[in-house]
């Protein structure tokens, strides 16, 4: 089967039109995605600033908007956990910390995250979970510069758990 020049021209023009339309659609979709990302980033930054300033209610309002749009965001769930702990909602804080760990299992190798997780589990009365986390902190022998008495704090929390059970 041979194509005439006219048929080849139509095929080529159709392919070019298809590619151009595809590029336009991709560009429009990407710009919407960029706008959503920028809005979420601004809300996240606002939540961080409000939390740093001690305005936990305002921080919660901002981070909850981010979580509605991106519920599987590791950093948003982590910040939500910190904010909820500061608001006194330790059970909810523990849920957000657990979700953060579920989203990124490598957080279990972060000494700062793990001590915070252990503290929140103790506060939320999830003693068995806290014990597992704190024993891991002990086993790994973490000693971050931010907490010079890290291992002593871990031992204190483990002793507290033993006394409460």
Residue pLDDT, tens place only, 62-114: 999 999 999 999 999 999 999 999 999 999 999 999 999 999 999 999 999 99
In this structure, the answer to whether residues 81 and 162 fall within a common structural domain is yes
In this structure, the answer to whether residues 59 and 119 fall within a common structural domain is no
Domain count, the chain: 2
- Residue 32's pLDDT band (boundaries 50, 70, 90)? low
R_g of the chain computed on alpha carbons: 25
In this structure, the answer to whether residues 85 and 152 fall within a common structural domain is yes
In this structure, the answer to whether residues 76 and 147 fall within a common structural domain is yes
Comparing CA positions, the residue from 113, 121, 98, 106 lying closest to residue 146 is 113
Contacts with 135 (C-beta within 8 Å, 6 or more apart), sequence order: 158
Domain that holds residue 108: 71-165
Residue 69 token pair: 């749009």
- At residue 1, the pLDDT reads 64
In this structure, the answer to whether residues 82 and 118 fall within a common structural domain is yes
Instruction: Say how far apart CA 129 and CA 135 lie, in whole Å.
Output: 10
In this structure, the answer to whether residues 87 and 154 fall within a common structural domain is yes
Cα 133 versus chain centre, distance: 19
Are residues 84 and 92 in contact, defined by beta-carbon separation less than 8 angstroms?
A: yes
Which range, of 15-19, 116-120, 133-137, 151-155, averages the lowest pLDDT? 15-19
What are the start-end ranges of the H helices in 53-149?
Answer: 56-69, 74-87, 90-103, 111-123, 127-140
Contacts with 84 (C-beta within 8 Å, 6 or more apart), sequence order: 60, 90, 92, 93, 96
In this structure, the answer to whether residues 23 and 103 fall within a common structural domain is no
Contacts with 81 (C-beta within 8 Å, 6 or more apart), sequence order: 93, 94, 95, 96, 97, 100, 120
Q: What is the pTM of this model?
A: 0.78
Instruction: Say how far apart CA 165 and CA 128 lie, in whole Å.
Output: 10
In this structure, the answer to whether residues 31 and 85 fall within a common structural domain is no
């Amino acid at each position: 089967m041979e194509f005439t020049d006219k048929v080849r021209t139509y095929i080529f023009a159709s392919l070019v039109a298809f590619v151009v339309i595809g590029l336009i659609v991709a560009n429009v979709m990407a710009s919407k995605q960029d706008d959503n990302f920028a809005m979420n980033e601004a809300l996240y930054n606002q939540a961080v600033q409000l939390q740093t300033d001690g305005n936990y209610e305002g921080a919660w309002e901002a981070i909850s908007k981010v979580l509605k749009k991106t519920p599987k965001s590791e950093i948003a769930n982590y910040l939500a956990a910190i904010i909820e702990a500061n608001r006194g909602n330790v059970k909810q804080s523990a849920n957000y910390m657990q979700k953060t760990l579920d989203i990124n299992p490598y957080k279990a190798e972060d000494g700062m995250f793990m001590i915070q997780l252990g503290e929140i589990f103790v506060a939320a009365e999830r003693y068995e979970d806290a014990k597992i986390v704190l024993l891991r902190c002990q086993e790994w022998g973490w000693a971050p510069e931010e907490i010079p008495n890290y291992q002593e704090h871990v031992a204190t929390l483990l002793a507290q758990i033993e006394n409460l059970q």
